[in-house]
Amino acid sequence: MSLETFAAGFLDIALDVSFAILGFAFLATLLRIYRGPTLPDRVIGLDMLTAIAIGFIAVIGIDTGYTLYVDIAIALGLVGFLATVAFARFILARGGGDDEEKAS
Amino acid sequence: MAGAIILILAALLSLTGSIFVAIAAIGLLRLPDLYTRMHAASKAGTVGSGMMLIALALVSAGSAEALRAIAAVLFFILTAPISAHLLAKAAHAAGYRLWPGSVLNEMPALDVAPMPPDAGDGMVGSPDAQESDGGAAAPHGAPPQIAPRGAA
């Protein structure tokens, strides 16, 4: 077995395993968003979801050679950053904290 | 030969990146409070997706996509700490308490948001402020009331 065939097969296996692990991470983050006792927990979960989506885009790009989505990854990172900043401003303006979460 | 080595390197990078992202997700699930979860998500998550984008840049080396992937990595490294810091500061100012097992809270309560009246003596919560979602138990047994707030 030459080095080239080994490299191609290893890359295939590694990409499949990466897909599985990313799917697990996606589900775990969704579970945190569902349970997340407070609003900032859910905001962190959404931030994490954009990171996982960018990872998916990168792995899909390696797997299929269809790298058009890299632009979308950059836009997704920008939107995720702006959304987190806006949510931080909203949390700061809303105030309340733990007591309000318990009262509601 | 060189192409094969680059493929193997890309495979290793994508594997390690996805493992980093999985560690970040596990930390998001298992860690006890907002601030420790933020620590897991922003650091390990950024490293994970950055490694996968670098793997993509290696595979498509020489094309415009490689440059875009590198630019995306730089952008994430630039923005992830800012957003995490901003969110942590906003949550702290809004009165979200630290986990009772935390040993140090050097940041005094800010005056930007209305504070709950019983949070005046530091943000170290009472035992009933503990998370109710079955998080990890306090490592020191009963959490001591350490409130080293400010310089006092």
Q: What is the pLDDT along chain B (152 residues), one digit of tens a residue?
A: 788 899 999 999 999 999 999 999 999 999 988 899 998 899 999 999 999 999 999 998 878 889 999 999 999 999 999 999 999 999 988 888 888 888 887 777 655 545 455 544 444 444 444 444 444 444 444 444 444 444 43
For residues B131 and A101, give the distance between their C-alpha atoms in angstroms, rounded to a whole number.
12
Residue B7 is nearest to which of A11, A31, A98, comparing CB atoms? A11
Last residue of a domain, one of B46, B73, B94: B94
pLDDT of B110 reads: 54
Shortest CA distance from A65: residue in chain B:
B60
Six token digits for residue A81: 């950053």
Cβ distance B94 to A67 less than 8 Å, yes or no, reads no
Q: Do B107 and B63 have their domain in common? A: no
State the residue range of the domain holding A55.
3-103
CA distances (Å), origin B5, targets A67, B8, B13, B15, B86 = 21, 5, 12, 15, 41
Is the same domain home to B116 and B81?
Answer: no
* pLDDT for A100: 57
Same domain (yes/no): B106, B90: no
Regarding whether B40 and B59 lie in a shared domain, the answer is yes
Helix (H) or strand (E) holding A33: helix A3-35
Q: Note the pLDDT of residue B2.
A: 84
Q: Which residues of A touch B46 (CB under 8 A)?
A: 51
Confidence (pLDDT) at A99: 61
Taking the CB of residue B78, how many other CB atoms lie within 10 A of it? 11
Measured between alpha carbons, how far is A82 from B101 in angstroms, rounded to an integer?
32
Mutate: best of B31, B36, B38, B83, partner A, most A CBs <10 A: B83
More confident residue, A18 or B113: A18
Question: Residue A74 to residues A41, A84, B70: CA-CA distances in angstroms?
Answer: 24, 16, 10
Cα B11 → chain centroid: 26
Residues B152 and B135 in one domain: yes
B36 in contact with chain A, both atoms CB, cutoff 8 A: no
Report the phi/psi class of residue B100: left, alpha or beta, with left for phi > 0 and alpha for psi in -120 to 50.
Answer: alpha
The Cα A3–Cα A15 span in angstroms is: 18
Same domain, B59 and B110: no
The Cα A77–Cα A96 span in angstroms is: 29
pLDDT the model gives residue B130: 42
Do residue B37 and residue A41 have CB atoms under 8 angstroms apart?
Answer: yes
In angstroms, the CA B69 to CA A58 distance is 8
Residue length, chain B?
152
CB-CB contact of B143 with B129 (8 Å): no
Residues B107 and B84 in one domain: no
pLDDT at res. A4: 87
Who wins on pLDDT, A103 or A2? A2
- B34-59 and B64-94 are packed helices; what angle lies between their axes, rounded to 10 degrees? 180
**B residues 76-95 closer than 8 Å to A (CB):** 76, 79-80, 82-84, 86-87, 89-91, 93-95
CB proximity B53 to A under 8 Å? yes
Quick check: B147 contacting A, CB < 8 Å?
Answer: no
Any A CB within 8 A of B74 CB: no
Average pLDDT over residues A69-74: 90
Structural domain harbouring B128? 100-152
pLDDT for B118 equals 52
Distance CA B6, CA B59 (A): 7
Q: What is the pLDDT of residue A3?
A: 87
Per the structure, how many domains does chain B have? Answer: 2
- The CA dihedral of B137, B142, B147, B148, to the nearest 10 degrees, is -80
CA angle (A20, B79, A14) in 5-degree steps: 20
- Phi/psi at A2 (5° precision): -80, 170
Residue A94 scores a pLDDT above 90:
no
Using CA atoms, how far residue A44 sits from A93, B86, B87, in Å, is 18, 12, 8
The verdict on B63 and B105 lying in the same domain is no
**Cβ contact (<8 Å) for A37 and B131?**
yes
Lowest mean pLDDT among A44-53, A76-85, A88-97, B136-145: B136-145
- Facing residue for B25 by CB, picked from A41, A48, A80: A48
Weakest mean pLDDT among A9-13, A18-22, A62-66, B105-109: B105-109
> A18 and B15: CB-CB below 8 Å?
yes
Among A24, A51, A99, whose Cβ lies nearest the Cβ of B45? Answer: A51
Give the gap in angstroms from C-alpha B57 to the nearest C-alpha of chain A. Answer: 9
ipTM of the complex: 0.89
pLDDT of residue B135: 40
> What is the pLDDT at residue B146?
46
Chain A and chain B share a number of CB contacts under 8 A equal to: 223
B97 touches B116 (CB < 8 A): no
